[in-house]
Structures are given as C-alpha cells and as structure tokens.
A and B are shown apart, each in its own frame.
Chain A
C-alpha cells in the first residue's frame, strides 16, 4: 500500500493561513491504514488547527470529510459541494488523491496535508517498510521473492556489494542487507544456483525514468459508444 506521513502542523498552518474556509478531506484507503489521513487523523488535525486559530486569534472555518477513496473521481464527487464551497482544500490523502481533486476542480486551490512516502507493508503495529519501487519490470522470481531494487540501498541486480556486513547494509546498519536476505531465502528453497545467475542491465524505461507511465487495460476500457451511453445516463 501507499504509506504517507502527516506534514508538520506549522507547514500545514502556513499553507492554509490566507484562506477563510478550509475543507480538510481524508481518505479511508491506504493512508487510513497507515494512520496518516483516515477519519481519526482528519478529526485530530481539524481540532488541532482550530485550537491554533483560537490561540492566534485567527478566524478560519475548518471542516473535515473523509472519502472512501480519494484517488477515484466517483468518490470525490460525493463531496463536490463542500469542495466548491471552500476557499482551499487540504487533502489528507496520498498525492494521488490530492491530484485527483486538483484535476477535477482545476480552479480550486488544493494543498497536501501529507507527504507521500513509500510503497510499503506493515511489519508490525506502527512500522511500515518499503518493499517496492514500482519499476514496472518485476524480477523477484529470480531473487527468492525479495526485491533488490527497493530493499538494497544501491538497487543492485547482482549483489551483494562489498558493504554487506553480518547480514546488514553499510548504508544503514539497522537494515538487513537485501542480498543477504535473498541468499538466505534461496538457500531455504534449495535454489542457490540463482545466486550465480547474472542479471543483465535493467531496462529502466518501464520505470519513472521512461517518463510518466499510463497503464491501459483494453478489455476494461470503455468504447466511444459506451462512453456516450454513460454520459446520457449521467
């Protein structure tokens, strides 16, 4: 899932300071699971900002709403009235949700309340770790199901490097060396011969290096005829 963190409150306060009516919009998907932008977090932020306004003697109205998924237009439409009625929207979702609202209402000012951080998994309560970079060309079939692109500080395809020590990474000794983990996993699976397989240089054009990526699933995409039908229904 996408893992995000709340921006510092003074940074948020500066962004929304010039505006009188603020709509704070959270999301019940990934950012709710990582405790950054769900219902509780939105309510706490609104409450804290109201207290700050009271302390600073500023008149500002803040209202919090939470959507099922802020990155999908259908859900955003549910709060269209609130968005249009506000002077500024503070989005408490990942950057995808923020940009979805921005694209739908280009005349409205949308600012992010969260820093979108990683594609991560919950390791334990309150701990998320990065395990994918979304490179668009998955190779974990040859690495025991462990991604060296995301989990190795140097994204090495043929590791480990000389900095691996006692199973830990030289960049951060608190973190396990991805290639040590791959070796241990392959040993467990009796597939150690894969360590000798030389992975050729990676084609990074499938990653963000190749520019903005758009994925199309032809069988799901609406035909012009279907689109016209939808428009009539709406």
Chain B
C-alpha cells in the first residue's frame, strides 16, 4: 500500500503571501508537494467556515498565510484572518480536535524561507496527528 501523503491546505493572500510563495517556488530549496494553496484576495476574506470545510473535506492541517500584521496590503486584513483562525482553534479545542491543525502565519514578499518553514512545520504536524479519525484507528 503506498504511503499516505499528508493533506495540507493553505489559504494564501494574493499580496505579500503569494509573493512570498512565488519567491519560494523560484528558490533552489524545494517545498513539499503535498501542500495545496488556495488564493484569496486577503486573509481577511478567509472565514472560519472555509477552514472547517477544508478539514471536513479531508485536510489534515490548514494554514492561513497573510501579510505581516503591520504591513498588510489592506491594512487590517491579516488581523481579521488571525482572529478567525483563533476562533476556529477554540472551536476545535471544544470538540476535542487538536487546535494545532490550524495555524496563521504572516510573511512579507521577500521571506521565501518562511514559506519553506511553514510548509515543513505544518507537514510535521500533519504527520504527527494524521487524519481526523477515532482514537482507536478506523477508516478515514
């Protein structure tokens, strides 16, 4: 049976977040191919529902990548994104699901290294936690 690859979903703002990803893609370092990016105009557009839906549809972990908070293209979009991520983490904790499955990150256009770090840290979490399923195992 082939080894299961973690499912990582990243909501990425099309300003500094996407620039950061583009730079990372052009660099010599490779990032894990299991990450799937969803482009959003701003992390302020990401709703808690989008994150939960991604998890419900099978993502192991979800991250949101936006501009640095004090340098957000839309001024406060990154702050809105962070607040929603925190709310979803609270909901997950209430339901007994590991809140670290969801994280918010901020980066500027030039921080390609940060995107590599984000992907590798989220991959570590995804591999450690595996898919959301009953403790004793069971099907996905």
Contact = CB atoms under 8 A, between A and B. Distances in A.
A13 B95 CA distance: 8
Interface string A38-59: 0010011001111110111100
B83 to A, nearest CB: 9
A51 B52 contact: yes
A10 interface: yes
Interface stretch (B16-24, B66-74, B131-139): B131-139
B56 A9 contact: no
A55 B49 contact: no
A106 interface: no
Find the residue from B56, B92, B95, B132 having the highest chain A CB count within 10 A: B95
B134 A48 contact: no
Interface residues of B, number: 19
B125 to A, nearest CB: 16
Contacts of B91: 9, 44, 48
Given A9-B91, A57-B134, A51 B49 contact: no
A211 interface: no
18 contacts: A9-B94, A9-B95, A10-B95, A40-B47, A44-B91, A47-B49, A47-B52, A47-B56, A48-B52, A48-B91, A51-B97, A51-B132, A52-B96, A54-B132, A55-B96, A55-B133, A57-B134, A57-B136
Interface of A: 8-10, 13, 40, 43-44, 47-52, 54-57
Given A49-B95, A56-B134, 13 more contacts: A9-B95, A10-B95, A44-B52, A47-B52, A47-B55, A50-B56, A51-B52, A51-B56, A51-B97, A51-B132, A55-B95, A55-B132, A57-B138
Interface of B: 47-49, 52-53, 55-56, 91-92, 94-97, 132-136, 138
